[in-house]
Structure 1
Amino acid sequence: MDRLKDKVAIVTGSTSGIGIGIAHLFAAEGAKVVICGRREARGQEVVDSIVKEGGEASYHFMDITDTESIEKLFADTAEKYGKIDILVNNAANVALKDGRVDELTLEMWDAIFQSDMRGTFYATQCVLPYLQKNENGGSIINIGSMASCAGDLGSTAYACAKAGVDMLTQYTALQYGKQNIRCNCVRPGLIVTPQNEAHVPQALKDIFTSNIMVNRYGCPEDIGHMCVYLASDESSYFTGQVVTVDGGLNAHVSTVAQFKALSSRTW
């Protein structure tokens, strides 16, 4: 359990959901993990739980829409630990019901892009000087979304912002790869967390599980395990990739579930 031994990792938006799952697995693999978000009490709870499990973690306030707090996060982390090896850009405004094109206001569009696209870009820009100081560079992992895979009935701004994250991943990987800085993107499918489970109706779960190739929807650890690989030296030849971790949801044509219901082999 030392795949990330002696590495310093920042996981944004790690006071809930997927971020907590990533942080716990990073700590279990030997990383010093910086938990960050706007909710100090919840962040400290995550830190305490990691320490109880034998890991090392600390909390730092960060608001993904506030550039000064992003700058301070990296400066303070480097001062505390002497370096930064890994950044997971997980913080985002998950507005899955933001609306159709004709329903969105410019204010709604701008708010979602500010957190999901602008915040991810600025955190990436801020961490680069610290990774460039490392002999072995480092790893940037962006958390995207399956919403960017294809069109849908809603979540227009969210999907467009996450599509931007996909492209930012490739540009970052291309421009800094020769400095041993890798950048990859993980696109989660339906991930049910302790924080959101009460808000995920059974009807939605049924729709997803009828289209997922395995017999369950996802959990934070499913994304965390992929992130551990991308953060570790095992993935030193892996960069510029957008990886969808969705139980196979997007690996088949859109009519599969309906044909299954008809017991038809045409699928």
Structure 2
Amino acid sequence: MNRLKDKVAIVTGSTSGIGIGIARLFASEGAKVVICGRREAKGQAVVDRIAEEGGEAWYHFMDITDTESIEKLFADTVEKFGKLDILVNNAANVALKDGRVDELTIEMWDGIFESDMRGTFYATKCALPYLKKNENGGSIVNIGSMASCGGDLGSTAYACAKAGVDLLTQATALQYGKDNIRCNCVRPGLIVTPENEAYVPQPLKDIFVSNIMVNRYGCPEDIGHMCVYLASDESTYVTGQIVNVDGGMNSHVPTVAQFRELNSRTW
């Protein structure tokens, strides 16, 4: 239970969903976790829950679209804890229904890129000087999306932004590896959280379960466990990687679900 002992971690967007799952697991492994987002009451609730579970956390306001609030988050974190070891870029606008190319307005496109691509870039940029000061560097974990794996009927801007996160991951890993800074990306599959469960229709769940290799859809802890590994010293030889945590959905030919319905392995 001490895989992240004495490490200081910022988890952006950790007032709900996947971010809470990551933050709680980090704290359970000994990290001092900075909970951040725009909703103070929800953030403080996460801090209180972590404290009840025996961990240490602190809430700090952050708006992923506001560069000044991002800068202040990092400066205040280092002032409070003396250092930064881990950044998880989780905050994003999950606009899965943003539309087709001809349906998107430039305002919709810019809004999604501002939070999902620009925000991840700027948080990474702000983290680098602090991580460079550490003798052992640090770890950046970006939360991507399986939407970036290929074209789809919608979600155009969101998928393009998350594809940018994939490449930003590799560029960061290459450019700062010699500073002992690692950068990896985790692509979640369908993750059902307490906040979104009521809004995820059963047909969508059925589509995913029919196309994945396991018998369930994902939960925030599935992503959290991978993030713990990538943030810990166990993965010091792992960088520049884009890891799918999707129940195996993207590791097979796209016709598996249909052939299963036919009780057949081939045509």
TM-score bracket relative to the smaller structure: over 0.9
Please give the TM-score of this superposition, normalised by the length of structure 2.
Answer: 1.00
What's the secondary structure of 2:159's corresponding residue? helix
Q: How big is the shift at 1:28?
A: 0.2
Q: 1:30, 1:183 → 2: CA distance?
A: 21
2:147 aligned residue: 147
2:202 aligned residue: 202
Q: How big is the shift at 1:266?
A: 1.4
Q: How big is the shift at 1:158?
A: 0.1
What's the secondary structure of 1:222's corresponding residue? helix
Q: 1:125, 1:11 → 2: CA distance?
A: 15
Q: How big is the shift at 1:194?
A: 0.3
Name structure 1 gaps, 5 residues minimum.
Answer: none
What's the secondary structure of 2:3's corresponding residue? coil
2:34 aligned residue: 34
Matched, 1:121 2:121: yes
1:216 aligned residue: 216
1:135 aligned residue: 135
1:236 aligned residue: 236
What are the superposed Cα offsets for residues 95-124 of structure 1, whole Å, 9 maximum, x if unpaired?
A: 000000000000000000000000000000
What's the secondary structure of 1:36's corresponding residue? strand
Q: 1:251, 1:38 → 2: CA distance?
A: 36
What are the superposed Cα offsets for residues 67-87 of structure 1, whole Å, 9 maximum, x if unpaired?
A: 000000000000000000000
Name the amino acid aligned to 1:155.
S
Q: 2:148, 2:221 → 1: CA distance?
A: 21
Q: 2:195, 2:23 → 1: CA distance?
A: 16
1:254 aligned residue: 254
Matched, 1:105 2:127: no
1:19 aligned residue: 19
Q: 1:244, 1:103 → 2: CA distance?
A: 29
Name the amino acid aligned to 1:256.
V
What's the secondary structure of 1:185's corresponding residue? strand
- Identical positions, percent: 86
For 1:45-124, list aligned pairs within 5 A: 45-124=45-124
Q: 1:132, 1:105 → 2: CA distance?
A: 40
Name structure 2 gaps, 5 residues minimum.
Answer: none
Name the amino acid aligned to 1:222.
D
What's the secondary structure of 1:15's corresponding residue? coil
Please give the TM-score of this superposition, normalised by the length of structure 1.
Answer: 1.00
Name the amino acid aligned to 1:249.
M
What's the secondary structure of 1:250's corresponding residue? helix
What's the secondary structure of 2:250's corresponding residue? coil
Q: 1:63, 1:265 → 2: CA distance?
A: 49
Q: 2:189, 2:203 → 1: CA distance?
A: 16
Q: How big is the shift at 1:265?
A: 1.7
Matched, 1:245 2:240: no
What are the superposed Cα offsets for residues 12-52 of structure 1, whole Å, 9 maximum, x if unpaired?
A: 00000000000000000000000000000000000000000
What's the secondary structure of 1:33's corresponding residue? strand
Matched, 1:4 2:27: no
Q: 2:176, 2:22 → 1: CA distance?
A: 24
Q: How big is the shift at 1:173?
A: 0.2
Name the amino acid aligned to 1:70.
I
Q: 1:229, 1:265 → 2: CA distance?
A: 36
Name the amino acid aligned to 1:124.
T
Q: 1:262, 1:40 → 2: CA distance?
A: 51
Superposition misfits of 4+ residues, deviation over 6 angstroms: none
Q: Work out the number of aligned pairs and report it.
A: 267
